[in-house]
Structure 1
């Protein structure tokens, strides 16, 4: 089977259209079946996303409760970043005091 060429009329001359690998022509029945199939797939994807959201809801609620508990305990700020430790002065390094040089 020889490949089909696609051409367009430019300045009263037919020129090939490059980059097109195939052309499919559908009749009205085929278009109707394809459209119905697309709607079936869309409905299935919508149902899947709703099921996923419902399955994820308890996990997200629990994560929100855990964050709220950490925030109320003063361990995280509103944006989720850890708060500064309160068990030592701000000037003191978490690695201990600086070593003295001899």
Structure 2
């Protein structure tokens, strides 16, 4: 997964659950993260970049918090694969099985 997608999806989880960034930063540091709290805030706002290791450590902190709270969404790791769902394209030979024609 590229850095921009990982940042956006991590931030989306944080915003969706209104997670406290200060609390996440403490968990991040506890997991070995090295970035300042302000850098984490800037990263979440899309205004700063983190190394893959730091992004994954933040995602781990978010995910552990979500698991503890029983929340369903998770932040992706840099090794995650992003699947884009697109409508299936049908050729002219395709017919709608529910059509009355």
TM-score by length of 2: 0.21
TM-score by length of 1: 0.21
Q: Which has the larger radius of gyration?
A: 1
Q: Which has the higher contact order (CA 8 A, sep 6+)?
A: 2
Structure with a larger share of its residues in helix: 2
Structure with a larger share of its residues in strand: 1
